Chain A
Amino acid sequence: MEEIIRVENLHKRFGKLNVLKGIDLTVSRGEIVSVIGPSGSGKSTLLRCLNHLEAADRGSISFEGEFIAQADKNGNAVYKKSKEVLAVCSRLGMVFQNFNLFPHKTALENLMEAPLTVKKADKAETERKAMELLAKVGLTDKKDSYPGQLSGGQQQRVAIARALAMEPEIMLFDEPTSALDPELIGEVLEVIKQLAAESMTMVIVTHEMGFAREISDRVIFMDDGRIVAEGAPDDIFVNPEHPRVKAFLGKVISRG
C-alpha cells in the first residue's frame, strides 16, 4: 500500500521534558489509525509533529515519499524551508479538540477561507464545493451562522468540513469529541464514520474506545512518549498482551 506518512525515530522535548522518545510510524493511503493512551503520553504532540505545528527535535518525517524533516548524521531533524513545509500542511487536514473555527466568519466563509487565500481557487467553484461539504455534515441551513451561534457538535462538524475543503490527503483528529457534551458526541462520530466509509486516510487520537475499536484498521497505544503496543483493534482491545495496555483499558472501562 502507498505510504502517506512515514515517521522514523521521532523525538520531541519541551525544555527538559522529553515528550516523544523515538516514535516510528507509517500510515498508508486509506488506512484508519487510532491513537490511544493515558493523558500526557504524547498523543497530541505526535499529531502536532505530523502536521508541523510542533517541530521535531530528532528523527525524520516524510509525506508521500518526500522528506519534510530529515535526520542529519547526528540524528537531528532538519526541516525543509518553511514555505515547503506550509505547502505540506495544506495537504493534511487537522481537526482540533476545541474546533478553532474563525469566529468572525460564517460557517460557509470558514470553509471558503483557505481554498481562496491559500489555493487562490475560483470563488464560485469554492462556494459550490463548500455547500456540498456543509450538506455532507448536515449543516446546509447553518451556512450563514457564526461559530458562536452553533452548538459544540455543529462547530466540530463545520471544522471537519473546513479541513475537507482543502481536499487533504489525510485527516488528523485530536480528540474531536472531548470538548463536547455527551449528547453531541454521536453526530460528530457519525461524520467521521462517513469519511471512513469513503476510505479517507485518518489518524484519530481519541478516548472513545468503542469508536476506536469499531472504526480503526490499526490501534496504537502510547505511553510515556513511546508506542508501547500496536495492532488490529481486537488485539489491543480484546486480548491485550502488554500489561500497561491492560491496566489502561481496565481503568477506562471501569470509569465508564
Chain B
Amino acid sequence: MDFDYLSKITFFIMKGTGVTLQIYVVTLVFSIPLGIICAIGKISRFKALRAVIWAYTWLFRGTPLLLQLVFFYYGLTAMTGGYIQLKPLSAAFMAFSINYGAYFTEIFRSGIQSVSKGQYEAAKALGMSPWQTMRRVVLPQAVKVVLPPMGNEAITLIKDTALCSVITVTEILRNSQVTVARDARVDSFLVAAAIYLCLTFAIMQVFRVLEKRFAYYKS
C-alpha cells in the first residue's frame, strides 16, 4: 500500500465531500418544505392547484434526474439564448431541490392521508381551525409515518449527488475521476466508495435514532 499516495488523493476527494454535503443539505432544506406545501396543496379542494402539483410530480418523477440536471445546466442556457446561465452548483441545487421536492410531495401526501378522518373530526369538534388541525394534529402524526420512506430518500440522495459530476461540479465522484484519469490508478474510486459508505451509514444512523424517538406512541 502506498500510504503517501492514498493520503494525498483522500485529501483531494475529501474536498469533494464538502461539495457533496453542500448539495445534500441545500437539497433537503428546500425540498422538504416544498414537499410539505405541495402535499397539502395536493389534498386541498382546489382542483387547479391539485392539477398543477400532479403535473409537477409527474414531470419530475417521470424523467431521469440526470436529464433534469443537464437541462438546468445546459438546456436553460440554450433555450434562453444564453440569458440564463446557471453555475454548475446552482444548477445542481435547483434540479435536486425540485426533483426531491416531487418525491417528498408524494411521501408527505401519503403520510398526511394516513391520519384518519376521526382525527380531523375530533379536532374540529374541539373548535380547532383547519390550519391548527394540520399543524398540531395531522403533521406530527404524519412525521412518524413518513420517516421510513424519508430515510430511503435521504440515502438515495447521497448517492444521487454523484450525478453532479456530469456537469463539472467538483464533488466526490468528480474529484476521484480526475485523479484516476491523471494518475492512471483506480485507488481513488475505492476511496470514493469508502466515503459514500461512511456517509450513507451516518444517515442510516440518524434515521434509526429518529424512528426510535417517534416510537413512543402507537398510531
Contacts and interface: CB of A to CB of B under 8 A. Distances in A.
Interface of A: 51-53, 83, 86-87, 89-94, 96, 98, 100-104, 113-114, 117-118, 146-148, 162-163, 166
Given A92-B125, A96-B122, A148-B218, 11 more contacts: A51-B125, A53-B125, A89-B124, A89-B127, A100-B119, A102-B141, A103-B141, A113-B137, A146-B216, A147-B217, A163-B125
Contacts, number: 72
13 contacts: A94-B122, A98-B118, A102-B137, A102-B141, A104-B140, A104-B217, A113-B126, A113-B136, A117-B136, A146-B218, A148-B217, A148-B219, A162-B126
Interface string B123-137: 011111100100011
Contacts of A114: 126-128
Interface of B: 116, 118-119, 121-122, 124-129, 132, 136-137, 140-141, 144, 216-219
Q: Is the interface of B mostly helix, strand, loop or mixed?
A: helix
A113 B133 CA distance: 11
Nearest to B133: A117
A53 B124 contact: yes
Contacts of B141: 102-104
Most buried by A among B119, B122, B219: B122
Contacts of B219: 103-104, 148
Most buried by A among B127, B136, B137: B127
Contacts of B128: 86, 113-114, 117-118
A89 B121 CA distance: 11
Nearest to B118: A100
B218 A103 contact: yes
Contacts of A53: 121, 124-125
A234 to B, nearest CB: 32
A166 B217 contact: no
Contacts of B124: 52-53, 86, 89
A26 B128 CA distance: 26
A179 B126 CA distance: 21
A51 B124 CA distance: 9
